[in-house]
Amino acid sequence: MKSVGLSLEHDPAALSPIHERIVESSDIEREIILGGQSVDGVETITSFVAGEPSAYEPILEGRETIREYDLTPAADGFFLYLRRDLEAEGLSLVTALAQETVVVVPPIEVRSDRTIRLTIVGHPSDLTTVLETLADGVSVDVRWTSDSVTVAGTTASDRQLAALEVARELGYYEVPRRNGIEAVADELACAVSTASELLRRGEANAVERVLEDTL
């Protein structure tokens, strides 16, 4: 199996109405699709939208293709449950991804720069077919590939996160630094070398995640 991280850039005319709203509104940063399915042309998804519900909801209200939706406010945005009839641009993407061995790995990120970022896993021949059957007006940037089943942006382990949290609380990341690595090691009840390794690996994973989210 092979894994591929894709960025699909849409020409303005190829944007869906919802994606167009995300691009145009300064009150919406992005939408993270957490899961969903498409059956007989009807898509059902749950997502988190980083932005204001009042900026997003107008595109749903009164639209004939929207079957039902529910918005739940949350910190820095809201959660969305949505069922809709897929329009041409959505159907073309679903068709391209509907290869025999291909699995789309959530989340799918719909961004304000007219791109959609996603990870797909499958046999190399089917992954190639996905790229070849995308609709006109959609260009593909292969951000990374792997010869194993994986996703981008390795997250920090629980121990690394605990070390990072302790270091922050002790002022290790303040300028000037309030406490050194010895204080972090004492708080974690481990050797200085162990604390240093946990911080280095945790920092590396954090930087990788930040760059993956922004570049």
| pLDDT at site 87 | 86
pLDDT digits (tens, 9 = 90+) for 127-152: 999 999 998 899 999 988 888 887 65
pLDDT digits (tens, 9 = 90+) for 157-174: 778 888 999 999 999 999
| pLDDT at site 152 | 59
| pLDDT at site 156 | 63
- Residue for token pair 């996703």: 151
SS3 98: coil
| pLDDT at site 101 | 96
| pLDDT at site 112 | 92
Q: Per-residue pLDDT for 155 more than 80?
A: no
Report the percent of the chain where pLDDT is more than 90.
70
In b/e form, how buried is each residue of 109-135, taking b as 16+ CB within 10 angstroms? bbbbebbbbbbbbbeeebbebbeeebb
| pLDDT at site 91 | 87
> Any residues with CB less than 8 A from the CB of 11 and at least 6 apart, and which?
114, 137, 138
Q: Per-residue pLDDT for 207 more than 80?
A: no
- Rounded to an integer, the average pLDDT of 6-10 is 94
| pLDDT at site 100 | 94
Pair of tokens at residue 149: 């089943």
Q: Which residue has the higher pLDDT, 149 or 77?
A: 77
Please tell me the distance from the alpha carbon of residue 182 to that of residue 159, in angstroms, as a whole number. 17
With CA atoms as reference, report the closest residue to 1 among 91, 114, 111, 119: 119
pLDDT digits (tens, 9 = 90+) for 18-64: 999 999 999 999 999 999 999 999 999 999 999 999 999 999 998 99
Predicted TM-score (pTM) of the model is 0.71
Instruction: Average the pLDDT over each of 88-102, 108-122, 197-211 and give the range with the smallest value.
Output: 197-211
